[in-house]
Amino acid sequence: MRQFNTSSQDFILLGFSDWPLWNISSFSIPPCFFFLCHLSFLDLCYTTSIVPQLLVNLHGFDRTITKGGCVAQLFISLALGSTECVLLVVMAFACYAAVCRPFHYTTIMQPWLCLLLASISWFGGFVNSVAQRGLMMAMPLCGLCYLDHFFCEMPMPVFLKLACKDTKDTEAKMFVARVIIMVLPASLLLVSYVYLVQTVLNIKSAEGQRKAFETCGSHLMVVFLFYGSAIYTYLQPTHSYSTSHGKFAALFYTIITPMLNPFIYTLRNTDMKAALRKVIKRKRALGLRRQ
């Protein structure tokens, strides 16, 4: 056995040292946790790219941001938001395989496929960001650059109002890019959940139906919150766009949804549910005693 330099008060976790290959691959074998790790890291980066500047703006009177900082924030937030659009579809595919093809799940969701799907999500998100940022940077801006928003993103009216030229061509190209990165994934999600619902309804056992809905219910809630607010912001007609409503919707897919994701997915855990019920019962008991 390998010798370690430790004191008598230290502990050594051997883990799966008897199977070295398992140490390398075990992290990426469970598809659910593998994609959840990507989603958690994505949400962490997403909020980090937006919240600090928002807090600075709320704290002081100087609400300026340099052009370089604005472009960087725009690129990063758009890349991460686009990545999440694709990643949620990948997670829906994993749910579909778990519910509709349970006996072939481990065969379908192999580590190499999980890694490939995650890579496609990140690559697709950054390609979309590069394309849309290029369209925005090609527009000449006039006058003082007042952005009626809490961070630099690309809802059309906010940036297009600052342009010095006709923006119809740019607007059309941006719309096509958004359809590809949002409407197409949303359509795939809708189709996958139609099949999921059909499969769940065909399960004769009530317990089996409950477990199947629990498997995909949390993901469906995240999809509804994220896609609902994002589609409202990015795909509505320019002439009917409301700045105040747009900023409120942006709070959902930039801050509220990433903040709720850990709670939504954690509540799938049976032990966590049991612990939460105990806490609620204790609070009720203490409330009754005080009365």
CA distance 149 to 245: 11
Three-class DSSP category at 212? helix
Q: CA neighbours within 13 Å on the CB side: how many for 268?
A: 19
Q: Write down the CATH superfamily of domain 29-235+242-261.
A: Rhodopsin 7-helix transmembrane proteins (1.20.1070.10)
- What is the four-CA torsion angle of 275, 281, 286, 291, rounded to 10 degrees? 160
pLDDT at site 122: 94
Block means of pLDDT (10 residues each) for the chain, length 291 residues?
51 54 47 83 89 78 77 88 91 83 82 92 92 80 72 69 77 83 87 83 76 72 84 76 78 84 68 62 68 61
Q: How far apart are CA 164 and CA 167, in angstroms?
A: 9
Q: What three-state secondary structure class fits 160?
A: helix
Among 44, 95, 38, 100, CA closest to 220: 95
Residue type, 138: A
Please give the full DSSP string across 255-277, using - where no structure is assigned: IIHHHHHHHHHHTTSHHHHHHHH
* β-bridge mates for residue 163, sequence order: 141
Residues in the chain: 291
Instruction: Give the predicted TM-score (pTM) of the model.
Output: 0.76
What is the pLDDT at residue 119? 94
Contact between 174 and 73 (Cβ < 8 Å): no
Q: Alpha-carbon distance 130 to 8, whole Å?
A: 55
**Domain layout of the chain by residue ranges:** 29-235+242-261
Contact (CB, 8 A) for 267 and 273: yes
Contact 238, 171 (CB under 8 A): yes
